[in-house]
């Protein structure tokens, strides 16, 4: 039933008008900057393909789904897999027990190599040993710097969280900060705790820890805002992930605080924020490199018997500082979501 | 749904003593009666899911894959059992997920801090877990609030306490490793050992899961307490009117959840040596999902323990099967949701077919 009861002709006119308006919107109003078009115009880092026999590599991480940082790691892994003629099976679970199950799943599939993050090393110990017993080479990346060797892994790619934290703390001393708050977005993550502990170690001012719920951005924002309102002395917010840095910058302006924002890790929008000065600087651990090297090292091991890092030392991918002085070099790659 | 205080049919009905019929007690055919059991729909769905992944993923056909699926299902299933019983009794427990972590943390921290044999920690953790369950039940009865609210509150309390208490004692967000302490190896044998059948390693939790399922089924179908569960879930006031101890039943059901949370907590602790304080959040819904796929009604008064076993098995098959089939993990949760929906719908359809006159 049509209760408005327009005469037929005017109803047709309405339809025509709507269609015309839609056509106008689609044609005449295309954006002159940004969007998919400009993204596609960026160069693509792709190369040829190895002629080595096809191999299967499983990558098992402790990442939450839908996280920018981990997506960058995956892009690196996929780029290496495409080059090396590797079939990549990526899987992830935040819960320690379930991540161990996923490694078992890869063993069941008889893969040629496993790349694993050891954020919860105790939980992964038994299943990693199982993989090694089954003759599957295992490399570690991103998390587990302290334990990769004792668990018999071939190599490790990542940054020393404590060293990076200390580097950030030292940098804060040179910028003259006095009172920092370190924002932890996932309780229970040893890595994140290590970063804050590293900052605390070298930073001469006061360091506080603030827990936020990283899966819920609005609550992150309001928690940081509340903290800044409550303690006006805070002049530095240290976040442990790029998205949180951008949120913290919003909190700072909301609270009318004088605090500056420094962060671990990097993403597209953060580059812009560093250029504009909203964010002071970032410590990058180059996630793309971690994913890429983890896959590539296993290809090298299988096809040329190489041990990346010599099997003795980890291969460090960070800390690489990004601030106003070098941000331009990186911007183009960050725009593609690979740096 | 029927509001009977007894289950609709038991697994072995007693032989009818008199054989004269007047039409009032027409026996439906055996097939019909079998289909009316709460778990049959889930069983059909489980067979369907199994065949689907058997066809879609070559590595799913291996026995080792079955062991992995069963292991995941067992850890979830041991919790899904008391949750199913609780739901038949008409209540929810949203704190069940973090309660597992609470129990594991309690045992780890107490053993470490007191520097005592780990069995001390294990025993004290059991007391804490039962107390949490009793507290939930007591709060429900005292406040008369819906269990959804009461246990939501205790979920948040436990989640915060898990982190804060761990941090106070260890200075970290995970418990200290107790792997080198007295009694650890013994407890590991009990809670987290493996056994081998034909060269494939199966985890001990699978055996416990099936034993617990048998016990839960016996309680539900063969004891007075089982009838009380159905009664309080069907209609609390009627149950009270005919002399069923409603408060006792509900508190006991919550304590049952506590006991199983303790068991799973111990398994996690002794398989992994340490416990992360932030874990367990979200698991409570998986337990409820397993129970519902297995034929429990959200309104209470209907369901079965075996159903929750099949429900957990379906969940295990789907979550590992997606990885065995090498599907894009971005879609993982979406696949999972669709599969669970299909399983629940098959279940409903079978029940409708079966109960038609």
Question: Could you report the per-residue pLDDT of A240-277, keeping only the tens digit for each?
Answer: 988 899 999 999 999 999 999 999 988 888 999 999 99
| Res. A214: pLDDT tops 60 | yes
Contact: A123, B271; criterion CB under 8 Å: yes
| Res. A3: pLDDT tops 60 | no
Compare B329 and A323 and report the one with higher pLDDT. A323
Mutate which: B75, B185, B329, vs A, most A CBs within 10 A: B329
Using a CB–CB cutoff of 8 Å, tell me whether B329 touches chain A.
yes
Report the range of poorest mean pLDDT among A257-271, B159-173, B203-217, B333-347. B333-347
Averaged confidence pLDDT in chain A = 88
Contact: A100, B272; criterion CB under 8 Å: yes
**What is the distance between the terminal CA atoms of chain B, rounded to a whole angstrom?**
14
| Res. A116: pLDDT tops 70 | yes
Contacts of A89 in chain B (CB under 8 A): 323, 326
Using a CB–CB cutoff of 8 Å, tell me whether A147 touches chain B.
no
What is the pLDDT averaged over residues B334-342? 81
Q: Which of B68, B279, B330 sits opposite A105 (nearest CB)?
A: B68
Using a CB–CB cutoff of 8 Å, tell me whether B172 touches chain A.
yes
Predicted confidence band of residue B2 (pLDDT cuts 50, 70, 90): very low
Q: Which of B173, B273, B333 sits opposite A122 (nearest CB)?
A: B273
| Res. B163: pLDDT tops 80 | yes
Contact: A187, B68; criterion CB under 8 Å: no
Predicted confidence band of residue B6 (pLDDT cuts 50, 70, 90): very low
| Res. A338: pLDDT tops 50 | yes
What letters, b where the CB count within 10 A reaches 16 and e where it falls short, cover B308-326?
Answer: bbbbbbbbbbbbbbbbbbb
Q: Extract the tokens encoding B316.
A: 């295990």
Contact: B64, A108; criterion CB under 8 Å: yes
Q: Which of A102, A122, A189 sits opposite B274 (nearest CB)?
A: A122
| Res. B9: pLDDT tops 50 | no
What is the pLDDT averaged over residues A144-165? 92
SS3 B213: helix
SS3 A284: strand
Q: Which chain A residue shows the shortest CA-CA distance from B97? A: A95
Compare A58 and B302 and report the one with higher pLDDT. A58
What is the pLDDT averaged over residues B40-51? 90
Please list, in sequence order, all residues whose beta carbon lies within 8 angstroms of the beta carbon of residue A307, skipping any fewer than 6 positions away. A154, A155, A301
Rounded Cα–Cα distance for residues B46 and B317 (Å): 9
Contact: B323, A102; criterion CB under 8 Å: yes
Q: Are A58 and A128 in contact (CB under 8 A)?
A: no
Above pLDDT 90, what percent of chain A?
Answer: 64
Binding-face residues of A in 29-58 toward B, CB within 8 A? none
Q: Which chain B residue shows the shortest CA-CA distance from A196? A: B172
Please list, in sequence order, all residues whose beta carbon lies within 8 angstroms of the beta carbon of residue A246, skipping any fewer than 6 positions away. A269, A270, A273, A278, A279
Q: Are A297 and A273 in contact (CB under 8 A)?
A: no
**By CB neighbour count within 10 A (0-12 exposed, 13-18 middle, 19+ buried), where does B111 fall?**
buried
Using a CB–CB cutoff of 8 Å, tell me whether A123 touches chain B.
yes
Predicted confidence band of residue A11 (pLDDT cuts 50, 70, 90): confident
Query: Is the four-CA dihedral A274, A279, A280, A284 of positive or negative sign?
Result: negative
Q: Which chain A residue shows the shortest CA-CA distance from B321? A: A105
pLDDT at B4: 44
Contact: B278, A186; criterion CB under 8 Å: yes
Using a CB–CB cutoff of 8 Å, tell me whether B271 touches chain A.
yes
- Residue whose structure tokens are 């990693």: A128
Contact: B329, A98; criterion CB under 8 Å: no
B276-285 pLDDT, tens digit each? 888 898 899 9
Q: Which of A92, A97, A187 sits opposite B278 (nearest CB)?
A: A187
Contact: A65, B332; criterion CB under 8 Å: yes
Rounded Cα–Cα distance for residues A29 and A23 (Å): 10
pLDDT at A21: 67
Q: Which chain B residue shows the shortest CA-CA distance from A100? A: B272
What is the pLDDT averaged over residues B105-134? 96
pLDDT at A40: 57
Mutate which: B63, B277, B282, B326, vs A, most A CBs within 10 A: B326
Q: Within a 10 A sphere around the Cβ of A324, how many other Cβ atoms?
A: 13
Q: Report DSSP letters for A47-67, one per residue.
A: -----SPPEEEEEEE-PPSS-
| Res. B15: pLDDT tops 80 | no
pLDDT at A335: 83
Q: Are B125 and B262 in contact (CB under 8 A)?
A: yes
SS3 A269: helix
Dump strand ranges (E) for chain A.
55-61, 86-92, 113-116, 138-141, 156-158, 179-184, 206-211, 236-239, 260-264, 281-284, 315-316, 320-322
The values of phi and psi at residue B43, to 5°, are: -65, -45
Contact: A125, B268; criterion CB under 8 Å: no
Q: In this structure, are strands A113-116 and A55-61 parallel, antiparallel, or unpaired? A: parallel
| Angle at B210 (CA atoms; ends B207, B213), nearest 5 degrees | 150
- Tell me the shortest Cα–Cα distance from A6 to chain B, in angstroms: 43
Binding-face residues of A in 73-92 toward B, CB within 8 A? 87, 89-92
Averaged confidence pLDDT in chain B = 88
Above pLDDT 70, what percent of chain B?
Answer: 92
pLDDT at B173: 79
Q: Extract the tokens encoding B178.
A: 């107790």
Contacts of A190 in chain B (CB under 8 A): 172-174
pLDDT at A27: 60
Predicted confidence band of residue B5 (pLDDT cuts 50, 70, 90): very low
Compare B104 and B15 and report the one with higher pLDDT. B104
What is the pLDDT averaged over residues A303-319? 92
Compare B11 and A102 and report the one with higher pLDDT. A102
| Angle at A280 (CA atoms; ends A274, A283), nearest 5 degrees | 85
DSSP A239: E
Q: Are A262 and A172 in contact (CB under 8 A)?
A: yes
| Res. B144: pLDDT tops 60 | yes
Q: Which of B6-10, B36-40, B209-213, B283-287 has the highest mean pLDDT?
A: B209-213
pLDDT at B26: 63
Using a CB–CB cutoff of 8 Å, tell me whether B191 touches chain A.
no
Predicted confidence band of residue B330 (pLDDT cuts 50, 70, 90): confident
Q: Which chain B residue shows the shortest CA-CA distance from A104? A: B68
A18-50 pLDDT, tens digit each? 776 666 656 666 666 667 765 555 444 556 788
Q: Extract the tokens encoding B243.
A: 């002399």
Contact: B174, A98; criterion CB under 8 Å: no
Q: Which chain A residue shows the shortest CA-CA distance from B334? A: A65
What letters, b where the CB count within 10 A reaches 16 and e where it falls short, cover B79-99?
Answer: bbbbbbbbbbbbbbbbbbbbb
Contact: B272, A193; criterion CB under 8 Å: no
A47-99 pLDDT, tens digit each? 678 889 999 999 999 988 887 789 999 999 999 999 999 999 999 998 889 99
pLDDT at B332: 80
pLDDT at B239: 94
pLDDT at A38: 58
Q: Are A279 and A262 in contact (CB under 8 A)?
A: yes
Using a CB–CB cutoff of 8 Å, tell me whether B330 touches chain A.
yes
| Res. A139: pLDDT tops 60 | yes
What's the pTM value of the predicted model, to 2 decimals? Answer: 0.83
| Res. B107: pLDDT tops 80 | yes
Contact: B279, A126; criterion CB under 8 Å: no
- Tell me the shortest Cα–Cα distance from A187 to chain B, in angstroms: 6
Comparing CA positions, the residue from A108, A278, A172, A167 lying closest to residue B324 is A108
Rounded Cα–Cα distance for residues B315 and B303 (Å): 18
Predicted confidence band of residue B54 (pLDDT cuts 50, 70, 90): very high
């Amino acid at each position: 039933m049509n209760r408005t009861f327009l005469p037929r002709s005017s109803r047709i006119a309405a339809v025509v008008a709507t269609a015309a308006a839609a056509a106008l919107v689609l044609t005449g109003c295309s954006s002159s900057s940004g969007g998919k078009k400009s993204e596609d115009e960026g160069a693509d880092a792709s190369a040829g393909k190895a002629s080595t026999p096809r191999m299967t590599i499983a990558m098992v991480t402790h990442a939450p789904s839908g996280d920018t940082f981990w997506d960058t790691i995956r892009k690196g892994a996929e780029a290496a897999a495409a080059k090396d003629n590797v079939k990549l099976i990526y899987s992830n679970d935040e819960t320690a027990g379930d991540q161990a199950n996923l490694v078992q799943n890869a063993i069941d599939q008889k893969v040629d190599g496993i790349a694993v993050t050891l954020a919860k090393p105790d939980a992964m110990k038994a299943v990693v040993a199982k993989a090694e017993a089954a003759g599957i080479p295992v490399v570690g990346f991103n998390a587990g710097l302290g334990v990769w060797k004792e668990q018999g892994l071939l190599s490790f790619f990542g940054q020393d969280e404590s060293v990076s934290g200390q580097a950030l703390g030292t940098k804060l001393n040179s910028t003259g900060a006095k009172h920092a708050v370190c924002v932890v977005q996932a309780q229970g993550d040893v890595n994140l705790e290590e970063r804050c502990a590293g900052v605390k170690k070298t930073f001469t001012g006061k360091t506080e820890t603030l827990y936020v719920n990283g899966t819920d951005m609005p609550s992150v924002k309001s928690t940081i805002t509340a903290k800044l309102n409550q303690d006006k002395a805070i002049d530095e917010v240290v976040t442990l992930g790029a998205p949180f840095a951008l949120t913290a910058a919003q909190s700072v302006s909301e609270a009318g605080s004088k605090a500056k924002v420094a962060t671990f890790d990097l993403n597209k929008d953060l580059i812009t924020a560093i250029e504009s000065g909203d964010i002071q600087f970032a410590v990058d651990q180059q996630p793309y490199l971690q994913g890429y090297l983890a896959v590539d090292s296993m290809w090298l091991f299988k096809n040329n018997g190489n041990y990346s890092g010599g099997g003795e030392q980890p291969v460090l991918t960070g800390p690489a500082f990004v601030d106003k002085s070098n941000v331009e070099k990186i911007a183009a790659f960050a725009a593609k979501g690979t740096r | 749904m029927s509001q009977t205080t007894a289950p609709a049919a038991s697994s072995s009905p007693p032989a009818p003593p008199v054989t004269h019929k007047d039409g009032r007690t027409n026996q439906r055919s055996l097939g019909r009666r079998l289909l009316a059991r709460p778990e049959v729909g889930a069983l059909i769905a489980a067979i369907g899911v199994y065949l689907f992944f058997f066809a879609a993923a070559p590595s799913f056909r291996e026995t080792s894959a079955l062991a992995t699926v069963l292991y995941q299902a067992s850890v979830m299933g041991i919790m899904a059992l008391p949750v199913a019983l609780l739901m038949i009794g008409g209540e929810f427990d949203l704190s069940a997920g973090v309660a597992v972590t609470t129990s594991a943390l309690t045992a780890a921290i107490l053993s470490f801090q007191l520097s005592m044999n780990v069995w001390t920690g294990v025993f004290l953790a059991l007391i804490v877990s039962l107390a949490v369950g009793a507290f939930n039940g007591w709060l429900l009865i005292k406040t008369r609030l819906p269990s959804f609210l009461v246990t939501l509150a205790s979920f948040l309390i436990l989640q915060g306490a898990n982190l804060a208490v761990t941090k106070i004692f260890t200075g970290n967000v995970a418990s200290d490793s107790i792997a080198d302490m007295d009694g650890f190896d013994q407890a590991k044998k009990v809670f987290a050992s493996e056994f081998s059948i034909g060269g494939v390693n199966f985890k001990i939790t699978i055996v416990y899961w099936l034993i617990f399922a048998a016990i839960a089924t016996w309680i539900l179908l063969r004891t007075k307490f089982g009838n009380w569960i159905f009664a309080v879930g069907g209609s609390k006031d009627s149950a009270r009117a005919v002399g069923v101890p409603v408060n006792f039943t509900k508190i006991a059901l919550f304590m049952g959840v506590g006991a199983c949370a303790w068991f799973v907590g111990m398994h996690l602790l002794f398989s992994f040596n340490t416990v992360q304080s932030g874990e367990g959040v979200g698991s409570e819904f998986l337990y409820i999902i397993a129970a519902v796929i297995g034929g429990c009604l959200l309104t209470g008064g209907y369901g079965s323990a075996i159903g929750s076993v099949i429900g957990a098995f379906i969940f295990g098959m789907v979550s590992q099967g997606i990885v065995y089939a090498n599907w894009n993990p971005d879609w993982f949760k979406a696949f999972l949701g669709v599969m669970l929906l299909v399983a629940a719908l098959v279940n409903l359809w079978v029940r409708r077919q079966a109960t038609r006159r």
